[in-house]
Amino acid sequence: MSVSIVGWAHTPFGKHSEETVESLVVRVVREALDHAGLAAEDIDEVYLGHFNAGFSKQDFTASLVFQASDGFRFKPATRVENACATGSAAVHQGIKSIEAKRARSVLVVGVEQMTTTPAFEIGQNLLKASYLPEDGDTPGGFAGVFGRIADSYYQRHGDQSEALALIAAKNHKNGVGNPYAQIRKDLGYDFCRTESDKNPLVAGPLKRTDCSLVSDGAAAVVLMDGDAATEMRRAVRFRATAHVQDFLPISKRDIIRFEGCTEAWRQALSRAELTLGDLSFVETHDCFTIAELIEYEAMGLTPAGQGARAIKEGWTQPDGRLPVNLSGGLKAKGHPVGATGVSMHVLTAMQLCDEAGAIQAKDAQFGGIFNMGGVAVANYVSILERVK
């Protein structure tokens, strides 16, 4: 592929009641352009990832990017949405524009403001990422859907409470070193494993520490074609990408297999001419700890039903054979839906440029990203490599 990330920006994720969708967008746009050493006039096209689904009254948001600079006026700008994979969908659209030679430089922004919405409405908004004829009355909303998935996995492969607590503890420990993370506290295995007033059951066997956070935040990347990228301060190249869409109804799939995730990884690794073992680390979509466990299997790290081995034997720890979610993942970093996929690309680029600080992977050469929308419905994989 001939597209590279040449600059980025990222707000801390968390509760930002003093911000708006517009102010978050403007902030990361200006910071990303400055980081890349470019002006708005240098950008050929803009993509904004914004899920919304009721979180923001302002539902026509593509041109909010233009509030950062009058230099964007009359450039094409498009809002992209694909549930929780909205951010990666926007990134992949930007790549397509460059590969089609319709643009040489593309700005991609992801944003969401969720915390100003009442709790009940948050649950209803997120549930819209499921198949409502089947799941619309699920107790606990989207967490309830994944609670059912966890129950099904337990029935087939046995109780996984220990493995899920280890995943949660790993990601919270990793998040301590990430300045953008919403929760920067090492909660420890015992807290994550034990049901308590501070860690109650939420849905099925899933406790609060098994669920990602309600968050506000934004992230942005500047993409550039290969020839131009070589002249920039830094460049992280897309070695390969893949997007696989699956059926929306859970009833049409074996829901504990995440087959779309498997196919997306297969395609991306094949195009990259790499194996999973060649990757230095992976950022994967841990909206719930059961999702990360199943994704170990779906990406090919372990056989089906044996995902617990990867966490129990330390494979996915920072010093393991394939570190997973060095950023803290959605679990600790937060999950402002439209921003999540762009955030994953920012954190991966930082790793590959040795700019990740306390969460830096040693000698990182290749980084993998898996971002999904719904229950493994929209499946996006990116494989990035360091150029300069």
Share of the chain above pLDDT 70, in %: 100
pLDDT tens sequence across 99-125: 999 999 999 999 999 999 999 999 999
Provide the domain count of the chain: 1
For residues 326-355, give the mean pLDDT: 98
pTM, to two decimals: 0.98
Residue 138 lies in a domain: no
What are 8's two structure tokens? 């980025």
Residue 357 lies in a domain: no
The predicted pLDDT at position 30 comes to 98
The answer to whether the beta carbons of residues 187 and 172 sit under 8 Å apart is yes
The predicted pLDDT at position 388 comes to 73
Q: 35 lies in which domain range?
A: 3-117+214-229
What is the pLDDT confidence band of residue 387, given thresholds at 50, 70 and 90? confident
Residue 179 lies in a domain: no
* DSSP letter string, 57-103: S----GGGGGGG-GGGTTS-EEEE-BTBTHHHHHHHHHHHHHHTTS-
What are 293's two structure tokens? 């466990």
CATH number at residue 62: 3.40.47.10
pLDDT tens sequence across 234-278: 999 999 999 999 999 999 999 999 999 999 999 999 999 999 999
Residue 263 lies in a domain: no
Residue 294 lies in a domain: no
Q: Which DSSP symbol is given to 275?
A: -
Residue 282 lies in a domain: no
The predicted pLDDT at position 227 comes to 85
Whether the pLDDT of residue 144 is over 90: the answer is yes
Residue 328 lies in a domain: no
Residue 340 lies in a domain: no
Share of the chain above pLDDT 90, in %: 97
Write down the mean pLDDT value for the chain.
97
Whether the pLDDT of residue 233 is over 80: the answer is yes
